[in-house]
Every structure is written in C-alpha cells, then in structure tokens.
Amino acid sequence: MGEQPELSIAFSREGEVILTFPDGMRHPTGLYPNMHEREATRMFFETTIGRTLIMQLRTREIYDKKTNLLLQEPARSIIEQNLARLSGKKFDGLISVLMLDLDHFGQVNKQYGQEAGDQVLRWFADILRRSTRNDDVLARWGGEEFVVFAAANKPAEQQTHRDRDRPWSDTARVATGTTLANLDQLMGNGKLIGSRIRSATESSQCTIGNTTIKQTVTVGVANAYVKPDSNMEGLFDQLFMLASEIMYKGKREERRNHVHVAHMTYGKPKAL
C-alpha cells in the first residue's frame, strides 16, 4: 500500500487555493493563482519540499489547539485579504459576519470540569464545519466566542438591467423581503448560515463517556450588500462590531438560542 498523502489541494469557486490536511482541517490560503499558474501551484504542493514546507508552517500559531479553527489574528488576516480581492472586482454580493457565543458555557466548566468544556468546544467546532461552506472563514475568537465570515457574490454582468441601474441607497434593494429572499436563493446569506448552526447545536448533544451535555448558541449576524467596485476597507470591523452588539443585546434581553440579524444600509447599521 502506498504512502498516504500529507495533504490535498483544491481550488474554490473563486479560485482560492484550499489546503486540506490529513485530519480534515481545511485551510483557505488567501492565494488566487490564475489559470496558467494553477497547474504549477498544484505540482509544487505535491512535491516533498512543498508538503514539508506547508506542514512546517502549520506548526506556527495559526490554529487554535483545542478546536483546530483559525486563531483570531490569522483569521482576520485572511478575511482582510478576501475583502481586498473582492473590492476591485465587478461583483454584486452579500458580505456576512457571524458572532457566535455558547450559552452558559461557564456552567459547563463548573459542573463537568475544564476537560469536558474543551470537548464541548471541539464538538461545536465540528458543527461549524458541517454547517458552513468551504469558502467561509471559521475562527475561535476567544473563550466560547466564534466568528464566521461568509462572502456570497455573483458577477455584476449576471444581474438584470433593472438590478444594475437601481442605486445602492434605494431601500427597496436592501430592505425588502423580496430582495433579501432573492439574495438568499442566489447566494445564501448569514441568516441562513446562523440558523443552520443554531439548529444543529440545539438538536444534538455532546457525549463524553456516559455523560451527555446539551448546549445552545446565540448568534449575531451582520450583513452588508456590496456594489461593484466598492471600497471595503474597514468593512469587517464594522460588521464585526454590529454582529457582536446585536448578539450581546439578545443575551441581555434573555433571547438566547436565537439568531439576531442586522443589515447595513447607507453605511450605517439598520436592524431588520
């Protein structure tokens, strides 16, 4: 039997190099080789030198040791790279940032111990992977807080003339149920991702030996509909702050185990 490969390489719909390690961990690299460079890129990663280099790089502080999700700073770097790439492209699309916080997680550590708490974190990280797409960026932000970044885009030339000519400031474009429903069907948005994660968390349980632990999660989702050639500098920070704000507001109002959604219009946050 031949030696098992150390890692595999694939390309996302957008052309980003995605590495998959033997343990199943996906790593979006932020690299977008053109069509002529793809074969050379693939060949490099299939060489012994390429594989060794990547495995060495993985030992750096990139992933959280408990969940194998990205740490905060590497995740932020990848997200900013994605936004910079999208900023100059002729794309219409929805940018979503999800802030997720495990409910009453401190009680899990107190009642079952820290090792059990770590198991719950790993269990929830697996739910995140199953509930999101290959192109989404997943991170453990700290403690029991997690972040998901999702960019759903469609080429501007595929929009109808009516859509292309409608100004970004038109509230009918960004605030009506019909428009958002169309965006859901075409691209999916943060609310759908958040609902999928919330439902999967509530409907399953973390089993540790003979102990089963039920866990719920509160989700804050901030969306921004982006027009072609938009300058997205600082957009992640704005969406992150908005997602955090509505998530913690929900917790303060005893609306845990919910998905709270807000949408940015006119450069200002507007709750839906």
Q: Please write the tens of the pLDDT for every residue from 240-265.
A: 999 999 999 988 888 888 888 887 75
Q: Please write the tens of the pLDDT for every residue from 37-74.
A: 888 888 887 888 877 777 766 666 788 989 989 999 88
CA distance 131 to 133: 7
pLDDT value of residue 89: 66
pLDDT value at 86 more than 50: yes
What are the extents of the domains in the chain? Answer: 8-58, 72-271
Q: Under CATH, what is the fold of the domain 72-271?
A: Alpha-Beta Plaits (3.30.70)
pLDDT grade for 166, boundaries at 50, 70 and 90: very low
Those residues with Cβ within 8 angstroms of residue 127's Cβ, 6 or more apart along the chain or in another chain: 197, 200, 201, 204
CA distance 234 to 53: 32
pLDDT value at 178 more than 80: no
Using alpha carbons, list the distances in angstroms from residue 253 to 101, 145, 149, 240: 15, 19, 25, 20
Query: Euclidean distance between the first and final Cα of the chain, in Å?
Result: 57
CA distance 78 to 62: 11
Question: Can you tell me the mean pLDDT for 88-114?
Answer: 87
Those residues with Cβ within 8 angstroms of residue 118's Cβ, 6 or more apart along the chain or in another chain: 66
